[in-house]
Amino acid sequence: MLSKNPATLLLSNGKIFKGFSFGKKGYTIGEVCFNTGMTGYQEILTDPSYSGQLITMTYPHIGSYGINSEDVESNKIQASGLIIRDGDVLPSNYRSNNSLGNYLKENNIIAIQGLDTRAIVRLLTKEGAMNGIISSNNMDIKKMQLLLQQHPSMEGKDLAKVVTCKKSYYLNRGEYKRKVVVIDYGVKSNILNLLTKQKLELIVLPANSTTNQIMKYNPDGIFLSNGPGDPAAVTYAIESVKELLRLRIPIFGICLGHQILALALGAKTFKLKFGHRGCNHPVKNNKLGNIEITSQNHGFAVDSKIIPKNVEVTHYSLNDNTIEGISCTDKPAFSVQYHPESSPGPHDSRYLFEKFMKLIDTFKAENIYAKTK
């Protein structure tokens, strides 16, 4: 049953879509993107990597299994808005304790439903990602156009500083011998869950932490998290990772962390036409020769034309041949563009966390040997 309150989506190319309000009334602006997942809308909405974006869900029925207290990737909705075909007001699932509509209102998120999301996706794949504005308060189109024109592009935008933690915190403090510093560019909860299950003590630090601030914890490894925005704009993180690489400490990066590692190694990044967002993206593992079905969410990628000699491409996308993973040949550092923590999505790539553990164990053993000499 659709809300009777009208709402409008205006894209920066002038295209107008009329629908109905779903969530809080008002207006919101962001980069319009699309996700092809049939499920996982709660994880998607709360993923910090979606900061500054209006998410279009390609599956027509969103909200059918409601909202629960478990499937969250952060403590709030991170996306700027939601665009859907139909929102189910009567969710049915034994874990559900809220409806999607109420959840959006509680988080002050503006959404629109009743749109032809297929037409939006076709437009974005043809013309590329663009900014959009959703209004459910009868705003004049000319005013919407003016606000939209004033909104900056995602290129050049550092959003890691917006979503990162404000101060450091521990997980599994004092429980295990292996210690990893997590640089929070917008880290997802399930990444932290999987790292803690590897029997690691975690110290989570803000995105702008310096090398000295990181190394004072005497870590056995560094994890570079996912996050939103343009990786090239996060200059402080790139410089910090350059310094960490010289220390030859094990480094594992995911998503934005992958791009920051690549930039620190001398590679370049570029903005994809419309990004990769979904739960079923095929990736080729060059090392093993097998195909992994992966969960993805990124609008930028590492440029395959500018790869340093000490960087090996380990994974690539079978959809568009873009780089999905790299490894440094002379330092214990590797990364992937996609999300092996699979929340939501398949579990094909969780072996990467075990690879990180092996690098840490080797690093610790070498350090112990060096101290006994």
Q: List, for residues 206-253, the tens digit of each pLDDT value.
A: 999 999 999 999 999 999 999 999 999 999 999 999 999 999 999 999
Q: State how many domains the chain has.
A: 2
> Does 315 qualify as catalytic in the annotation?
no
User: What CATH number did the domain enclosing 40 receive?
Assistant: 3.50.30.20
Q: 100 and 137, same structural domain?
A: yes
Question: Does residue 1 fall inside a structural domain?
Answer: no
User: Is residue 28 scored above 70 in pLDDT?
Assistant: yes
Residue 255 designated active-site: yes
Q: Which of 150, 182, 215 finishes a domain?
A: 150
3-state secondary structure of 125: helix
Which residues are registered as beta bridge partners of 34? 56
Domain boundary among 150, 181, 209: 150
CATH of the domain at 326: 3.40.50.880
Distance between CA atoms of residues 79 and 58, nearest Å:
16
Is residue 369 scored above 50 in pLDDT?
no
The residue type of 343 is S
Q: Which of 123, 150, 177 is the last residue of a domain?
A: 150
Sign of torsion, CA 20 45 268 242? positive
- Is 60 exceeded by the pLDDT of residue 371? no
Domain boundaries, position 127: 6-150
Q: Which residues of 35-44 are buried (b: 16+ CB within 10 A; e: fewer)?
A: bbbbebbbbb
Q: From the candidates 255, 279, 281, 292, which is the catalytic residue?
A: 255
In the predicted model, what is the mean pLDDT of residues 252-278? 98
Rounded distance between C-alpha atoms, residue 194 and residue 189, angstroms? 9
Indicate if 179 and 143 belong to the same structural domain.
no
What's the pLDDT score for residue 346? 81
Residue in 31, 73, 324, 341 annotated catalytic: 341
Does 175 share its domain with 278?
yes
In a domain, 267, yes or no: yes
Q: Is residue 155 part of a domain?
A: no
Angle of CA points 33, 34, 38, to nearest 5°: 155
Contact 33, 211 (CB under 8 A): no
pTM: 0.95
Q: What percentage of residues in the chain have a pLDDT greater than 90?
A: 91
Q: Whose CA is closest to 297, among 323, 284, 279? A: 279
The pair of structure tokens assigned to 194 is: 């999987």
Known active-site residue 341: yes
